């Protein structure tokens, strides 16, 4: 049975590793989003990996060693001492979210953040989903993806947040 895992890559090797894995016949996915970059003489739209130094692989137990033997792959992302299994729903949610207009995702390490408020999203791909908000602003909501040990920063209109359940620690 195939499961999703995340692998660490050499810095700036995400797209190369994705291509190498696909050529080996291994199902991999490097989530990309279009971003505008400014050079001294022009602006350009490029496809930039969302998860820096990460590539997702959908593999069987037998394919695990083959992934590690791919040039540019450093190791599996571990959670509680074992390679982290990414839930199919999390991968599907990110894929769906990337199809929406006027949204962007950026990712940062979850170290140093604490769980905070729970929210229910009222519109878009995350509709009716409850997430753990790490921090909020006028347009941003930070949602923790536990199996990755990462925080996915989701930017969309603040009006998408329908209900807020505040958790207080006493």
Q: Tell me, what's the pLDDT at 63? A: 96
Domains and CATH numbers, the chain: 3-86 (3.30.70.940), 89-165 (no CATH)
Q: Tell me, what's the pLDDT at 126? A: 55
pLDDT tens column, 99-108: 877 666 655 4
| pTM for the structure as a whole | 0.65
8 A C-beta contact, residue 119 and residue 129: no
Which residue did the predictor score with more confidence, 100 or 88? 88
pLDDT tens column, 51-62: 888 999 999 999
Q: Tell me, what's the pLDDT at 114? A: 38
pLDDT tens column, 126-159: 555 556 666 655 445 566 544 455 556 565 555 5
């Amino acid at each position: 049975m195939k499961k999703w895992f995340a692998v660490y890559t050499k810095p700036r090797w995400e797209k190369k590793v994705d291509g190498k894995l696909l050529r080996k016949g291994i199902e991999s996915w490097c989530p990309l989003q279009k971003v505008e970059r400014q050079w001294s003489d022009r602006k350009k739209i490029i496809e930039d990996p969302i998860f820096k130094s990460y590539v997702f692989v959908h593999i069987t137990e037998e394919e695990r060693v083959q992934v590690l033997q791919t040039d540019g792959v450093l190791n599996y992302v571990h959670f509680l001492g074992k390679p982290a299994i990414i839930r199919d729903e999390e991968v599907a949610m990110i894929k769906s979210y990337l199809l929406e207009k006027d949204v962007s995702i950026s990712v940062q390490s979850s170290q140093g953040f604490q769980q905070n408020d729970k929210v229910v999203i009222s519109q878009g791909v995350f509709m009716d989903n409850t997430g753990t908000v790490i921090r909020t602003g006028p347009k941003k909501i930070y949602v923790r993806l536990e199996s990755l040990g990462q925080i996915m920063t989701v930017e969309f209109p603040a009006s998408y947040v329908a209900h807020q359940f505040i958790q207080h620690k006493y």
